[in-house]
Amino acid sequence: MPETALRAPTVPRRAGKGPSSLPHVQRFAIPIILPLLNANDRAHWAAQNRLIRHWKWVTISAAARIEPVQGRVHIVATLHMPTRRSYDAGNYYPTLKACVDALVAPLRILVDDDNTHVIGPDLRAGDTDPKHPRIVIDLIEEGL
């Protein structure tokens, strides 16, 4: 996986605030090795549940070294697809939902994924990467 995919993003300073006001950012990447869950799919419930379990297990292994988050967190996920084909990133929200659910239980990185603990999650389209398609998830702590 490219080294830049795992590097935390640069967060600009807020005007008039000291360095202690900068949010803490944790980043991890989940390889896209099976089909993404799509909001437009009408798959059989058993097939869909298998994919949900897959995405949860892949998230568990990818986020194993992420520290638990204290306070609110803004979740930003970026899709790096294998082709340049046009797509609607929002249609892949069910995949992100399965990943966020894994961060709550069993990993306990997040206290809960309700709106009092999580801002977002925001799903965005990233660069094309045919060799290493992935979902990069940034956990940006908003403070206590």
List the domain boundaries for the chain.
Answer: 23-143
Question: Which CATH number is correct for 23-143, 2.60.40.1180, 3.90.1150.10, 2.70.70.10, 3.30.1330.70?
Answer: 3.30.1330.70
Instruction: Name the token pair of 33.
Output: 């090795």
Q: Write down the mean pLDDT value for the chain.
A: 87
pLDDT in tens, 42-69: 889 999 999 999 999 999 999 999 999 9
Average confidence (pLDDT) over 24-37: 94
Q: From CA 11, how far away is CA 89, in angstroms rounded?
A: 23
**What span, in angstroms and rounded, lies between the C-alpha atoms of 84 and 76?**
21
Q: What is the pTM of this model?
A: 0.82
* Angle of CA points 109, 143, 63, to nearest 5°: 20
Task: Report the relative pairing of strands 118-125 and 134-143 from DSSP bridges.
Answer: unpaired
Q: From CA 142, how far away is CA 68, in angstroms rounded?
A: 13
